[in-house]
Structure 1
């Protein structure tokens, strides 16, 4: 019996569009991935000193180059985005793609995005302020996309005066939100606004933890999501549960060289099957990048997506 588990990919925006960029998005569609996402950053980790292109233009080009593949960010954050301008870009993307956009959205981290727009003597946001901003960001963005005829809002961090987004989303009332969260406040937002929930696992386990510890941590996160949904009067089954791989100890190349789930077809089928039993409905793998933590055999990668779902 075929599993309902969907496989998706993340294509980092590091390739010039006419030199491998477009080909990867088109190949993702040919292989049968459910969705292809990209990261919405100004720069990111070890890729900071190399090419890194904008998420929205990349997704716009991908929308024009594909016809069936779902597309989205994984994830967008308030670090350098404003709900009013983001909403305008999203309805445009949704229109160009024919209603294939999912907005992955999270509170953001302490990387380059968090400091690039700051003045030299300005301190980065504290974790509390980041959470406060995220809550207001999601609420306003939801309102902007649901009320295309005009939104007026005044909050602590964001405001809008008769902001218009006519004709609204191509996907009905609003395009889907995939909310990345592990803490209580974020999970509450996922339960209230999300059509999907996203996790990368417990980051504290990546370097020193075990796959077994990671699995139990994910089980705990799943239980907390269920409680948040119950508190919100919502059935947790309504939400897709998305695991973005690459950040749990199973995938650490320093400690799992040659034994990562992405290194062999059978290992991935086992990994995906166990996590599907945990409740995940979508697993996202990174498109292979040679010389990075996401390096992988492309033949194995392609076999995973073309043959894996039938074996999970």
Structure 2
């Protein structure tokens, strides 16, 4: 074998070995980035190079942002708790001075104050770590739907939108306390923002062997696939409507509450137009991981 052929073989072997090493490094980089995408920001690459340094720096920044957001939620929830307690006490002290015909409205206000306290507790639970196991409990879905409809129907009437629910009984799902209430509030609030006058928002629930699915169906303009895919990201605003207020946190918090309840959200096109906002939870008796919407 000539020296030229031997040299060429050595070059080919060297290039092949280098390519194998590069592919392995890129696979490790891809694995870490996939962990970041899944919400796990702890993995780091024990390698050298500018690409590795950039990936590790990205992980550090994601941890910093995530911790900052969790701290904000925890601090805001804690600071709101005392004013809520004071509000409830003032409402209770007003009871002797309220006329009989106003007692129903006062009791409704007290229930809302109690519900807000439960919501703050749920937010503080999320702030302690979304990835941890949380204590869920059986929730009467029909009762929650009735309660949220009663609270939102006057607001919907002012906006010229009809809000109604399909009757459903005997549906129980596992969730954090007050999580379903808050998620439905986010769904209804978003639906009202896009619903034209004279349209309808429909709340209903369906069940299968292992799942309960709660729907909030509006008759608005709907969402394009790109918006639907990103709607639950923190601080993200839709591309189709820029004329609404809000910080872009509602669906993100709702998605966190759903995950903490071992469920998830979906935003799908509604039949005939509009959007189906869907909350999927396990039934109270289910221990099976069934992820079909």
Structure 1 length-normalised TM: 0.22
Greater fraction helix? 2
For the pair shown, which has the larger CA radius of gyration, 1 or 2?
2
Q: Which has the higher contact order (CA 8 A, sep 6+)?
A: 1
